[in-house]
Amino acid sequence: MRQRLRSWMTFSAEPNVLLAQYGELKRQVPLLYTLLVLNAAALAYTHRHLAPVELTIGFTVLLSTICGWRVVRWLSAPGADIVTAVEAKRELVRTTVIAGVMSVAFVNWSFLLDQYGGPAERGHVALFIAVTVIGCIFCLVTLPQAAMVVTAAVTLPYLVYYILRGNEVLVAMALNIALVTGVMIRVLLNNFARFETLILSKDTLAAKQREAERLGDENALLAHTDALTGLPNRRHFFAELDRRLGAAKLAGDRVAVGVLDLDRFKPVNDTFGHAVGDRLLMAVGRRLAKVAGDGMLLARLGGDEFGILITRDVGRACELGQAICDRLAVPFSVDDHSVAIGCSAGLAIFPDAGETVHELFDRSDYALYHAKSTERGSCAAFSLEHETQIRSERAIEAALQSADLEDELHVRFQPILCTRTLAVLGVEALGRWTSPTIGAVSPDRFITTAERLGIIHSISATLFGKALAEFSEMPQAIGLSFNLSALDIVSQPTVARLIEMIERNGIDPKRITFELTETALMQDFDAAVRGIRSLRALGSRIALDDFGSGYSSLGYLRRLPLDKVKVDRTFVADMDEASGHNILTAILGLCQTLELDCIVEGVETDAQLASLRELGYRLAQGYLFAEPMRLDTCLVWMRRHTAGTGNQGDRLRPQLRIVA
């Protein structure tokens, strides 16, 4: 029992319960004091002519003053949302103590008044005490400690007093009151326990809600963050682009949208492995995160592609884009490797370059493509010139899609010669397309367009079919070189189709060389190697075309099953300079070490031929000998050339070139 009593008299240890009690009391205590004053005034009134004035008016005034002070204190006290739990508890304790003191004072005052007047007045005193104590208990439902102190301080003396006075009716009344208040306290304690549980469960609910919100925020963050680099991801980028574009339209602002693409990332990934590639991307992400900030959003769109969104200083967007490219050109240190990559960027500015997200993004991609093909490591903005190009590209796309391939495609042959004897050792077949609507389109352009449109395989097959048919009319001693697209060599069905065409044509596969550029191999190294193996298994040869114009040629040279290398014509053009000369020497050395045949392209002058011969190059191709020619022209050229070189004995001179 004592333990129970102690537990009832102890204040809650839960801060939120204390604060809730405080909040409730703040509303009810003023009512409690008002009730006290009114009841006391009523009692003083009925005793006004009977009791001394100090007991009636004097006490009422003193009481009203104290109660008034308490009411003001409570009304002006800070709200439960401001006070701390410690302050709230201090106030609860103070209220309990004051309630006890006041109860004692009241009871004694009523007993003093009880000395005056007849039975009616005495009845009023008894009623006053009973009603007041019940009223107080009601007002103190949320502070059971005070309610119990009040009950104890009033009902016990009340009972003892009337027993001593010996009035049966009043003793019965006192007993009644003691019983009623006892039950009320019990009910109050039960209610308070429920109040406490309610507050605590509200707390847990709020905590759960906060946790759910936190998890929700975390999820939202994850859904918008790129896991590898920690930068915003593609989803976030496009959502932001959409939002900011909407805002810019309303405010009449400009916005720059950009795409950033790492240069030489793929070779790094292929050479050092994906783990190093991933760490490199993380390092790139860290550098980009430092640049991003107010007015500039940088996000990873996927692979080695990043998005830029510039909303402030849009006039300087190109400068900002270039600064990022320069920053990424500084070598990275990854796992003790110093890795030098770079990046190119393309920008499109709203509203000049387009109105919609799709349009702007496409155009920034187009500008990027131009930066990559004209000046790697630079940032280009979409311009009017690009607009015209796009239009002509669309025209090429449309014409190519509706082209009659058999009719519109044809091949030209350019001879490959021995630099010493000038004997023709082979021909390279070069594709040509003349569209009835837009005229002749250079192979560089229509091949890339066909690749983009996904119709390259049928174009390659058509050209190869024509090349084989025409090649069958050429002398048995020479070989045929045919260019394959990046997409052809990685496609098993296309490779199978090429093999089937060779077999059907009855041409010895050993006479055929397929030329591949490095980009072909970089797309999907393993698939490319599979394709190469199938063609070599047949007996055909593989040449690496445009050698030296890419990046990691050395790595590819070692790892690929190759037979020949075709040296890019830019080296021949530069061979007058010491560096060009040295590179040609180095490439030849490399090819000899790896036992690869080496063909130089783009030989245009006698001097170049002489130098190449001196360096030890055995095979060459170029305008000096002949431009690509139609089959009949090529056959005539070959006959005259053979006759010409045959007549010239030791001093070999090529026949003047014949233009097709």
* Contact set with Ca ion (CB under 5 A): 483, 515, 545-546, 601
Radius of gyration of the chain (CA): 49
x/- string (CB under 6 A) for ligand C2E, residues 366-405? ----------------------------------------
x/- string (CB under 6 A) for ligand C2E, residues 449-478? --------------x---------------
Interacting stretch for ligand C2E, rule CB under 6 A, among 105-113, 161-169, 351-359, 618-626?
618-626
| Amino acid residing at 363 | R
**CB of 602 vs ligand C2E, minimal distance in Å:** 4
Is residue 604 close enough to count as binding ligand C2E by CB under 6 A?
yes
Give the whole-angstrom CA distance, residue 634 versus residue 501: 23
- Which option in ligand C2E, Ca ion, none does residue 622 bind, with CB closer than 5 to 8 A by kind? ligand C2E
Give the whole-angstrom CA distance, residue 166 versus residue 381: 108
**Cα torsion through 225, 231, 235, 239, rounded to 10:** 110
Question: Are the beta carbons of 277 and 335 closer than 8 angstroms?
Answer: no
Of the candidates 24, 248, 308, 23, the one whose C-alpha atom is nearest the C-alpha of residue 141 is: 24
**CB of 529 vs ligand C2E, minimal distance in Å:** 19
Question: Would you call 302 helix, strand, or coil by DSSP?
Answer: strand
**Judged by CB under 6 A, which of 26, 457, 569, 641 binds ligand C2E?**
569
Residue among 113 and 409 whose Cβ is closer to ligand C2E: 409
**Judged by CB under 6 A, which of 321, 342, 415, 602 binds ligand C2E?**
602
**CB of 502 vs ligand C2E, minimal distance in Å:** 16
Buried b (16+ CB within 10 A) or exposed e, 636-651: ebbeebeeebeeeeee
Q: Locate 260 and state its tokens.
A: 């950033």
Give the whole-angstrom CA distance, residue 140 versus residue 188: 9
**CB of 543 vs Ca ion, minimal distance in Å:** 8
E strand or H helix at 418: strand 409-418
Strand order through the sheet with 379-381? 296-302, 305-310, 255-263, 342-350, 379-381
Q: Which residues pair with 564 in a beta bridge?
A: 543, 597
Is residue 430 close enough to count as binding ligand C2E by CB under 6 A?
yes
SS3 string, 363-389, reads HHHHHHHHHHHHCCCCEEECCHHHHHH
Is residue 513 close enough to count as binding ligand C2E by CB under 6 A?
no
Residue among 258 and 622 whose Cβ is closer to ligand C2E: 622
Query: Residue 372 contacts by C-beta under 8 Å, 6 or more apart in sequence?
Result: 261, 263, 344
**Judged by CB under 6 A, which of 447, 480, 522, 609 binds ligand C2E?**
447
- Which option in ligand C2E, Ca ion, none does residue 388 bind, with CB closer than 5 to 8 A by kind? none
Is residue 546 close enough to count as binding ligand C2E by CB under 6 A?
yes
Q: CB-based burial of residue 482 (10 Å sphere; 0-12 exposed, 13-18 middle, 19+ buried)?
A: buried
Binding residues for ligand C2E restricted to 478-507, rule: CB under 6 A:
483-485
Residue among 263 and 546 whose Cβ is closer to ligand C2E: 546
**CB of 614 vs ligand C2E, minimal distance in Å:** 19
x/- string (CB under 6 A) for ligand C2E, residues 399-428? ---------------x--------------
**CB of 368 vs ligand C2E, minimal distance in Å:** 22
**CB of 549 vs Ca ion, minimal distance in Å:** 8
Residue among 267 and 431 whose Cβ is closer to Ca ion: 431
Q: Locate 245 and state its tokens.
A: 């574009």
- Closest-CB residue for ligand C2E? 431
**Judged by CB under 6 A, which of 144, 307, 628, 654 binds ligand C2E?**
628
Residue among 408 and 545 whose Cβ is closer to ligand C2E: 545
Of the candidates 107, 163, 112, the one whose C-alpha atom is nearest the C-alpha of residue 130 is: 107
Give the whole-angstrom CA distance, residue 332 versus residue 288: 13
SS3 string, 144-190, reads HHHHHHHHHHHHHHHHHHHHHHCCHHHHHHHHHHHHHHHHHHHHHHH
Is residue 444 close enough to count as binding ligand C2E by CB under 6 A?
yes
**CB of 306 vs Ca ion, minimal distance in Å:** 32
Query: Residue 538 contacts by C-beta under 8 Å, 6 or more apart in sequence?
Result: 499, 502, 509
Please give the backbone phi and psi of residue 491, each rounded to the nearest 5 degrees, phi first: -100, 115
**CB of 349 vs Ca ion, minimal distance in Å:** 37
**CB of 495 vs ligand C2E, minimal distance in Å:** 14
Residue among 114 and 601 whose Cβ is closer to ligand C2E: 601
Residue among 91 and 601 whose Cβ is closer to Ca ion: 601
**CB of 224 vs ligand C2E, minimal distance in Å:** 41
- Which option in ligand C2E, Ca ion, none does residue 442 bind, with CB closer than 5 to 8 A by kind? ligand C2E
Q: Which residues pair with 434 in a beta bridge?
A: 440
**CB of 590 vs ligand C2E, minimal distance in Å:** 19
Residue among 288 and 634 whose Cβ is closer to Ca ion: 634
**CB of 493 vs ligand C2E, minimal distance in Å:** 17
Q: Helices (DSSP H) in 47-58: which residue ranges?
A: 53
**Cα torsion through 139, 143, 149, 150, rounded to 10:** 0
Q: CB-based burial of residue 183 (10 Å sphere; 0-12 exposed, 13-18 middle, 19+ buried)?
A: exposed
- Which option in ligand C2E, Ca ion, none does residue 604 bind, with CB closer than 5 to 8 A by kind? ligand C2E
Residue among 380 and 484 whose Cβ is closer to ligand C2E: 484
Residue among 28 and 519 whose Cβ is closer to ligand C2E: 519
Residues that bind ligand C2E (CB under 6 A): 414, 430-431, 442-444, 447, 463, 483-485, 515, 545-546, 569, 601-604, 621-623, 628
